[in-house]
């Protein structure tokens, strides 16, 4: 009788342990698909943001180098500060290819900006330069959008703050990206050089 009791106790404990393990596995099965994208998704976004930040600063340096070379900004208009994107013609000028715009504004055909070629995914370019030897070239951010650029082309050493319009920044070159959400008006995720 005592033996039978002991046996039941063992069976009871074993089934309890099995139930706990099964429950744990079941919970993991449900929770893992929810947790993993959060962990790796945010790590991926962090990498993309860091990459966009790097590229924005490199572009700022490229425009600075252009200024040093030609003593003016690309596409300079003296009346007001210029706001443009890293599409054509700004980027075409900065890569210094055979496009007529590049030939006009960068007659020395100096490659002020160079970097990784953009990746084409699902019909959309991301993360790099869409380079055309004889035509318009573009610089895409980590999420497939062009960067925005504002230059102190009226040379008063001030630029209107894109984030807080009406406030002036003591900068000569601003570069910013819309961030992971692709929306320039949401600034919490935007990547900027100031
Ligand atoms: Ca200005
Ligand atoms: Ca945004």
pTM: 0.81
pLDDT, one tens digit per residue, over 86-113 is: 999 999 999 999 999 999 999 999 999 9
C-alpha atoms less than 13 angstroms from C-alpha of 93 in its C-beta half-sphere: 23
Give the pLDDT score at 40. 64
175 close to 192: Cβ distance less than 8 angstroms: yes
Name the least confident of 17-26, 50-59, 142-151. Answer: 17-26
Cα 144 to the chain's mean position, in Å?
8
pLDDT, one tens digit per residue, over 174-192 is: 999 999 999 999 999 999 9
Give the pLDDT score at 36. 63
Residue 94 CA to ligand 2 center (angstroms) comes to: 25
Residue 70 CA to ligand 1 center (angstroms) comes to: 18
Whole-angstrom distance between the N-terminal and C-terminal Cα of the chain? 82
Sign for the CA dihedral angle at 122, 127, 133, 135 comes to positive
Report the SS3 class of residue 175: strand
Report the SS3 class of residue 121: strand
Residue 181 CA to ligand 2 center (angstroms) comes to: 5
């Amino acid at each position: 009788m005592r033996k039978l009791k002991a046996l039941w106790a063992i069976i009871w404990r074993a089934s309890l342990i099995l139930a706990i393990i099964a429950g744990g596995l079941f919970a993991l099965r449900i929770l893992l698909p929810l947790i993993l994208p959060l962990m790796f998704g945010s790590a991926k976004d962090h990498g993309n943001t860091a990459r966009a930040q790097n590229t924005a600063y490199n572009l700022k340096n490229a425009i600075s180098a252009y200024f040093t070379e030609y003593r003016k900004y690309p596409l300079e208009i003296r009346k007001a500060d210029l706001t443009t994107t890293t599409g054509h013609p700004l980027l075409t000028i900065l890569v210094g290819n055979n496009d007529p715009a590049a030939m006009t504004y960068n007659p020395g055909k100096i490659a002020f900006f160079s970097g990784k070629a953009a990746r084409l995914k699902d019909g959309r370019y991301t993360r790099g330069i869409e380079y055309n030897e004889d035509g318009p070239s573009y610089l895409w951010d980590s999420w497939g959008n062009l960067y925005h650029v504002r230059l102190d082309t009226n040379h008063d050493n001030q630029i209107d703050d894109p984030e807080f319009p009406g406030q002036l920044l003591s900068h000569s070159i601003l570069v910013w990206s819309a961030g992971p959400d692709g929306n320039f008006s949401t600034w919490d995720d935007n990547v900027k050089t100031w």
